[in-house]
Amino acid sequence: MNTNDLLKKDCFTTEEIVYLLGANGNDKTLLFESAARCQAENVQNKVYLRGLIEFTNCCSKNCLYCGIRSNNRQVKRYTMTDKEIMDAVRFAWESRYGSVVLQSGELISDGFTRRVEKLLRKIERLSDGKLRVTLSCGEQSYDTYRRWFENGASRYLLRIESSNPELYKKLHPDNQHHRFETRMKCLEYLKKAGYQVGTGVMIGLPFQTMEDLAHDLLFMKQIDVDMVGMGPYLEHLDTPLYACRHQLLSKENRFQLALKMIAVLRLLMKDINIAATTALQAIDPMGREKALKVGANIIMPNITPGRYQDFYTLYENMPCTAEDNEDYMASLEALITLAGHETAYGEWGDSEHYRRRDKGQGTRKKDLTESVRPVSVWLSTKKIKGATVNGKQ
Q: Which residues bind ligand SF4 (CB under 6 A)?
A: 59, 61-63, 66, 68-69, 105-106, 138
Closer CB to ligand SF4, residue 63 or residue 241? 63
Closer CB to ligand SF4, residue 69 or residue 179? 69
Closer CB to ligand SF4, residue 98 or residue 204? 204
Q: Least Å distance between CB 387 and ligand SF4? A: 16
Spatial separation of the C-alpha atoms in residues 30 and 263, rounded to whole Å? 10
Q: Least Å distance between CB 175 and ligand SF4? A: 13
Closer CB to ligand SF4, residue 49 or residue 68? 68
Residue 344: strand, helix, or coil: coil
Q: Least Å distance between CB 72 and ligand SF4? A: 9
Q: Least Å distance between CB 162 and ligand SF4? A: 12
Q: What are phi and psi of 226, to 5 degrees?
A: -105, -20
Residue 82: strand, helix, or coil: helix
Residue 32: strand, helix, or coil: helix
Q: What are phi and psi of 360, to 5 degrees?
A: -75, -25
Report the candidate in 200, 227, 190, 187 with the shortest Cα–Cα distance to residue 377.
187
Spatial separation of the C-alpha atoms in residues 291 and 279, rounded to whole Å? 11
Q: Least Å distance between CB 70 and ligand SF4? A: 7
Q: Least Å distance between CB 69 and ligand SF4? A: 4
Closer CB to ligand SF4, residue 30 or residue 64? 64
Closer CB to ligand SF4, residue 85 or residue 344? 85
Q: What are phi and psi of 47, to 5 degrees?
A: -115, 125
Report the candidate in 196, 195, 218, 231 with the shortest Cα–Cα distance to residue 317.
231
Closer CB to ligand SF4, residue 200 or residue 349? 200
Q: Least Å distance between CB 106 and ligand SF4? A: 4
Spatial separation of the C-alpha atoms in residues 383 and 88, rounded to whole Å? 44
Spatial separation of the C-alpha atoms in residues 153 and 67, rounded to whole Å? 27
- For residue 355, the number of C-alpha atoms closer than 13 Å in the C-beta half-sphere is 10
Closer CB to ligand SF4, residue 70 or residue 361? 70
Spatial separation of the C-alpha atoms in residues 49 and 101, rounded to whole Å? 10
Closer CB to ligand SF4, residue 69 or residue 155? 69
DSSP characters over 207-255: T--HHHHHHHHHHHHHTT-SEEE-EE----TTSGGGGGGGGSPPHHHHH
Rg (CA), the chain: 20
Q: Least Å distance between CB 58 and ligand SF4? A: 9
Q: Least Å distance between CB 168 and ligand SF4? A: 12
Helix ranges restricted to H, the chain: 3-6, 14-21, 25-43, 82-94, 110-127, 142-150, 165-171, 180-193, 210-222, 251-268, 278-283, 287-293, 306-309, 326-338, 352-361, 373-381
Closer CB to ligand SF4, residue 17 or residue 66? 66
Q: Least Å distance between CB 129 and ligand SF4? A: 29
